Structure 1
Amino acid sequence: MAEKVRVAVLISGRGTNMLALSEHKRRDPERAYELVLVASNVPEARGLVLAKRLGIPTWARSHKGMEREAFDRLLDTELRRHDVELIALAGYMRLLSPWFIEAWEGRILNIHPSLLPLHKGLDTHRKALLAGDLEAGCSVHVVTAELDSGPVVAQARIRILPRDDADSLGARVLEEEHKLYPIALEEYARALRGL
């Protein structure tokens, strides 16, 4: 098999999707990607501890007090130092600068907790409930300059139940994210390699 695509995961919190991406390795040793870096704009993010336990190199720096592009240039330097080819945003709660998005065009994926193009941005589960949607879910999409608007590469759907509130719906959607993201990243990595 061709050399694995080198992936960096960007996180800001618990790192549950990062864990799902890393566990894909154990389930499928022949997978097309490997996690070579977990980076965060929140040095105290719990997901960094998890990444270290998994033996994945980490990088963290607070973005506070920095211009968006200045921070992204530091991040870019670190990504290139690790020969990263593809970036997976996994709960990275910071908008990327236009400079960064252009530098990595077509090589940044994000998992978003709604059925895009519905409910872009934050608070997606409450928005779905208020809209009276019958379904919710998650989308993996290519990151572009416009928020949550890049091409969708994969989606998972669940029924909204009568008893759902934003928390219960969010928990069920997160379970779907953990299943969908590794599969979508695998397919995208294979396409990148022409497999």
Structure 2
Amino acid sequence: MQFLSVLAFIISLVAAAPAAGQSLPRFGAPEKHVDAELIAATDSIVPGQPLTVGLRLKHEDEWHTYWLVPGDSGLPTQIKWQLPAGFSASQIDWPHPKRLPVGPLMNFGYEGETLLLTTLQVPADLPVGTPITLNAKASWLECKDVCIPGDAQVKLTLPVKPQSSPSASAALFKASQARVPQSALAASAT
């Protein structure tokens, strides 16, 4: 029953936009309000060692995306990995969200910039010296006064080395990991 109420609310938002004088793009590529990028916590991949990567979402002012449990409306961001043979990906480690009230509804999500973390298991027999490209298709619902679907094909190429060092983005990973509820971190480790 709650699902039907949420669906009706979303449909009413989309249907009301043209009536409110807000035109939706009709031709060409849809306007994007969220930029996505795939980044890594380290500067290289080490055979047999887990690799932490993140989907970095940068929202335009007043736009937001949703948390794993979006609240009364919305949909969480999804990542569909296209990984090389032998690699596997954990579920997303979701940083603690912001409250996003919309009228009588309470939603949970992200504004500004956020980093959604995933741990990749790396095969132990990966040859050192070869670059590896990680690919993923990310999709989300981006909202301000109206909600529109957003997506991006993201990729990241890293060298395979016997050791790694923190990447230029290491501080972002540390800050994002500090915002992930501890119970979620324990669940992703199992």
> TM-score under structure 1 normalisation?
0.28
Q: Tell which structure's C-alpha radius of gyration is larger.
A: 2
TM-score relative to the length of structure 2: 0.28
Higher relative contact order (CA 8 A, sep 6+): 2
Decide which structure has greater strand share.
2
